[in-house]
A and B are shown apart, each in its own frame.
Chain A
Amino acid sequence: MQLTLWTYEGPPHVGAMRIATAMEGVHYVLHAPQGDTYADLLFTMIERLPKRPPVTYTTFQARDLGGDTAELFKTAARDAYERFKPDAMMVGASCTAELIQDDPGGLCRALDLPVPVIALELPSYQRKENWGASETFYQMVRALAGPNAPVPGTPKAQRAAGARPRCNILGPSSLGFRHRDDLREITALLLQMGIDINVVAPLGATPADLARLGDAEFNVVLYPEIASLTASWLNRTFGQPATKTIPIGAGATRDFIREVATLADIDASAVLASADSRATWYAKSVDSTYLTNKRVFVFGDATHAVAAARVASEEMGFKVVGIGTYAREFAREVREAAKLYDVEALISDDYLEIEARIAELRPELVLGTQMERHIAKRLGIPCAVISAPVHVQDFPARYSPQMGFEGACVLFDTWVHPLMMGLEEHLIGMFRGDFEFHEDAAPSHLGGHGDARANREPAAESTATSALAAEPEQARDALAPNSTEPATATVATWAPEAEKELRKIPFFVRGKAKRNTERYAQERSVPLITVETLYDAKAHFGS
């Protein structure tokens, strides 16, 4: 058993629902107990879809367990077919139904429905949501496109002279973080390059669309978590190569254009010459100088975390002090990326472990998921969301892609917004104790949620020794036993005047200064940290 406060991913059948809901003309019959229909809310409320997800649940109850739950499933499947007349059906079990082992696939074959029925085996006690989505998409494509596969060894048909190259776009789905707008951005980019779109899947695709996936020359994979399994099958079966670059950030978008041009065998220099992102100039403009080497912690699904770290480092000038993902399937990619920044990758879906790492690193900005927002709020660190899981506010009405050149602009605005503006930052460093712009106030453009801490301030000031204890992360330690703060016995004592001096350091770097000084003192066996020690450490570590 695993003690779980928050979970980064849902169960795998929610992933299957994301595929079913993204597509048109399919229906999913899910063997599940009463109550599992809660998952409908993810689609109708968080994504605000104006339709019910195309899912029929058997919603069995305790009294049904004594009877024939298999018959219940068959009735539900038959009725769902009659009512919705889908072009293809998906059938499967949720975690509880998996335990009673009714075999939805076998039962449905016995019904002999006149449409393809795809049986999904999603092991709920081992796998999670993204795996479920990926597996479902793969099974759907294999079942529907498989019959159109060429005989192995057949030479690939050449593009007719003068015809435009054609590709599929794979990965966008329901409940995906900004999938809607990423798709629009990348579609426009491909069309501008002179490439036609054969099929977009799963979002908006019908079973008939999946059947003609093989007609394209290559595949554009936007979200490997959902589509890389399918793309590699399509490569084996239809000889379609797939893109590897994720076009998040201006630099990655340029790389993506070059990669696509190679796959499509076209010249993209004109597109590259004309392409530019306002974000690139914004980051160069002097106003952004204060962003240099801001310490940032990145966490999310692997695709977004790796892409965000690159943007943070190369396009914003931040310093990546930590990177991690909750997706074990993609741990390798994140470990590779971590090497670039000389940090250790954090591969974990244990919320408390991530909280402990952030508390330890004390970054100035957290780029993460909805969960990291809670951690960041608790620790008083600015935060922006870069990856699912997300809440309703991250399915915005306005156009807000993460991908392409417009996406880069969205990233610039979103990530800089929670930070304190440069001038405010300087003034707080120069004049401490201002009644309005004090260190515990939130950035003034973000409004009032710094009040609670401001009210605690007088108590914290009353004794010099308690001043450090008032740091927010100290209060959290009791809850984060994994915290890697060294045990108090090994830490040198702070002289009162040194402690006072420490409080003069702007708060967003104070945690780091404290840690560095203590490390410095420990390494040199200095028993008492004085003001001198503080500045010795500062000179030693160079910040």
Chain B
Amino acid sequence: MSAVIPIREAASGCGEAPVLRERGQREVFCGLTGIIWLHRKIQDAFFLVVGSRTCAHLIQSAAGVMIFAEPRFATAIIDERDLAGLADCNDELDRVVTRLLERRPEIKLLFLVGSCPSEVIKLDLSRAASRLSGRFSPDVRVLNYSGSGIETTFTQGEDACLASLVPSLPASSATAPASLMVVGTLADVVEDQFSRLFAQLGFGTDKPAVRFFPPRRADDLPEVGPNTKFLLAQPFLADTARALEDRGAERLAAPFPLGVEGTTAWLRAAANAFGVDAATFDKVTAAGRERATNALVRHRLQLAGKRVFFFPDSQLEIPIARFLARELGMHLVEVGTPYLHRQHLAEELDMLPAGTLLSEGQHVENQLDRCREVRPDIVVCGLGLANPLEAEGMTTKWAIELVFTPIHGYEQAADLAELFARPLVRRMKLVA
């Protein structure tokens, strides 16, 4: 049996395909949820949500077992005194932040995270952030972004957070050689793998070393300037990309590094931009490509021909659907996404099988009706829908796991496939 998986060429892709746009109840997380992984990535940052008890309850419920660790996030709960104007919100915020920073002197970067209540009452957190930055500098930098549900959906919280960090990135000198920045939170193990691949491609020797954004520590911010080229590692970084472009950086267009094909094309975009010759590129990537391709064969047996239905969640849906369709032979029934950025996803859309039903936004009841009607083999959805659909006899893959698990790059391609194969295997085992 050949280890090479033939990749199905889409006739024309979905670049121009119409998208179903619906409005109604959206069963998604708000951007505050991004704190759950961002606070693990930036190890000396603290996230202070300014919001209601609902916000505190959300993070607590989502953080699950991490509750046992010393958390680097908290909520300043707005109470009726703040709303009635009895207490000056800014004074209150200063008091809370002072208490917090006294308690946690090791914090170097504090994010004031806006929520629906703080946005609706128009609490000016950006002014508060600059005021507090002035007071606590140089020990602590205070920034702000909004993770509110009215403005952001799930992973967009990371976008808003990173976009707020971009203005504080140091400027690179105009004469500096071109440099590469990888943008988007990646699992540490994935970051290290990519670092090694980039090093083998010559970054760090005859080209500047690749920098990752966000960094693991707040004082290790990468430089940015007109010589910076950046690769998006995640599809949900619209505002961050715009902020980087405003500082002169140039985005390298590429599909996202999911699966063998996506990873190769993503690395190639960097290689081409920095003049790595084709022979070197093939030599460096050959081992990873072959390992990943071989590892996928086993999962392809499980997944080929299976029909998959995506509810909107993280904006990762389209790249993952592309991977499932082209590398594992799955059939895409509907691919829902909370928000579709046509420019950043142009390469992905071109690679999707022609005729794939794409939907942006959500009317959850209508979408459930469509889902029940087609009875897909596997449904990718949030935890609010997963168990109820299982009880209706459908097999589900809960989507949030795709954000919390290392899935990018060659070495994780099979892990990503396994995430989809596992529920199907389990269903078979339990029935047998």
Nearest CB of B to A344, in Å: 25
A96-B117 contact, Cβ under 8 Å, with A50-B388, A60-B150, A125-B83: yes
Structural contact, A126 and B79, CB atoms closer than 8 A? yes
Min Cβ gap B90→A in Å is: 10
The answer to whether B151 has its CB under 8 Å from any CB of chain A is yes
Chain B interface helix/strand/loop/mixed: helix
Chain B CB within 10 Å, residue with most, of A41, A370, A478: A41
Using known A-B contacts A50-B391, A481-B103, determine if residue A44 contacts B116 with beta carbons closer than 8 Å. no
Closest beta carbon of chain A to B268's beta carbon, Å: 37
Bound form: Cα–Cα A376–B388 in Å: 35
Contact with B along A1-44 (1 / 0, CB 8 A): 11111110111011000000000000000000111111111101
Whether B57 and A14, one on each chain, are in contact in the complex, defined by CB atoms closer than 8 angstroms, is yes
The interface bits of chain B over 149-163 (1 if a CB of A lies within 8 angstroms of the residue's CB, else 0) are 111010000000000
The docked-state distance in angstroms from the alpha carbon of A56 to that of B25 is: 7
Measured in the bound complex, the distance between the Cα atoms of B68 and A36 in whole Å is 24
When chains A and B are docked, how far (Å) is the Cα of A38 from the Cα of B382?
9
Q: Does A261 lie at the interface of the complex (its beta carbon under 8 Å from any beta carbon of B)?
A: no
B93 with A95: CB separation less than 8 A: no
**B387 contacts the other chain (CB 8 A):** yes
Q: Are A41 and B54 in contact (CB under 8 A)?
A: no
- Contacting residue for B148 out of A33, A50, A370, CB 8 A: A33
Q: Are B57 and A124 in contact (CB under 8 A)?
A: no
Task: Determine whether the beta carbon of A1 is less than 8 Å from that of B89.
Answer: yes
B19 within 8 A of A: no
- The reply on B92 being an interface residue by CB < 8 A is yes
Q: A65-B120, A124-B53, A126-B79 are in contact. Are A479 and B387 (CB under 8 A)?
A: no
| In the complex, chain A residues whose CB is within 8 Å of the CB of B31 | 35
Q: Within 8 Å CB of A11, what residues of B? A: 52-54, 57
- Asked if A326 CB lies within 8 Å of chain B CBs, one says no
Residue-wise, chain A 38-59 has the 8 Å CB interface mask toward B (1 for contact) of 1111101110111110001111
In this assembly, does B384 line the interface, its C-beta being within 8 Å of a C-beta of chain A? yes
Nearest Cβ in chain A — how far from B128, in angstroms?
12
Give chain B residues whose Cβ lies under 8 Å from the Cβ of A37: 25-28, 384
Q: Which residues of A contact B150 (CB under 8 A)?
A: 33-34, 60-62, 64-65, 96
Cβ of B83 to closest chain A Cβ, rounded Å: 6
Cross-interface CB contact of B78 among A38, A52, A60, A125, cutoff 8 Å: A125
Count how many chain A residues have C-beta atoms less than 8 Å from C-beta atoms of the other chain: 60
A459-506 contacts to B, CB under 8 A, are 478-479, 481
Is A374's CB within 8 Å of the partner chain B?
A: yes
B92/A1 in contact, CB under 8 A? yes
A4-B75, A4-B77, A51-B391 known; A61 vs B151 contact (CB < 8 Å): yes
Contact A479 B28, CB 8 Å, known A7-B57, A370-B67: no
Q: Which A residues are CB-close (under 8 A) to B390?
A: 50
Whether B164 sits at the interface, judged by CB under 8 Å, is no
A76 located at the interface, meaning its Cβ lies under 8 Å from any Cβ of chain B in the complex: yes
Specify the chain B residue showing the minimal Cβ separation from A34: B149
Q: Scoring B residues 41 to 71 as 1 if CB is less than 8 Å from chain A, else 0, what string do you get? A: 0000000001011101110111011011011
CB distance from B85 to the nearest CB of A (A): 13
Does A157 count as interface, using CB distance less than 8 angstroms? no
In the complex, the answer to whether B58 meets A4 with C-beta atoms within 8 Å is: no
Q: How far is the CB of B112 from chain A (nearest CB, A)?
A: 12
Chain A residues with Cβ under 8 A from B92's Cβ?
1
Q: Which of B28, B62, B65, B386 contacts A34 (CB 8 A)?
A: B28
Interface residue from B27, B52, B100 paired with A95 (Cβ < 8 Å) = B52
Q: Is the CB of A44 within 8 A of B67?
A: no
Contact A35 B149 (CB under 8 A): yes
Q: Does A100 sit within 8 A of B, measured CB to CB?
A: yes
List residues of chain B with CB within 8 A of the CB of A7. 53, 56-57, 60, 75, 77
Pair B79/A5 contact, Cβ less than 8 Å: no
Bound complex: CA A53 to CA B26 (Å): 15
CB <8 Å contact, B120 and A100:
yes
Please list the 6 inter-chain residue pairs (A to B) with the smallest Cβ-Cβ separation, ordered nearest first: A35-B30, A35-B149, A50-B391, A40-B384, A96-B116, A95-B52
Q: What are 23 A-B interface contacts by the 8 Å CB criterion?
A: A1-B95, A5-B71, A5-B74, A7-B53, A7-B57, A9-B53, A14-B57, A35-B32, A35-B116, A35-B149, A38-B30, A38-B33, A38-B61, A39-B57, A40-B383, A41-B382, A50-B388, A57-B25, A61-B150, A96-B117, A99-B83, A100-B120, A478-B103
Known contacts A34-B26, A34-B153, A36-B58, then 8 further A-B pairs from the complex at CB < 8 Å, ordered by chain A residue: A7-B56, A35-B58, A38-B61, A42-B61, A44-B388, A83-B365, A94-B54, A125-B82
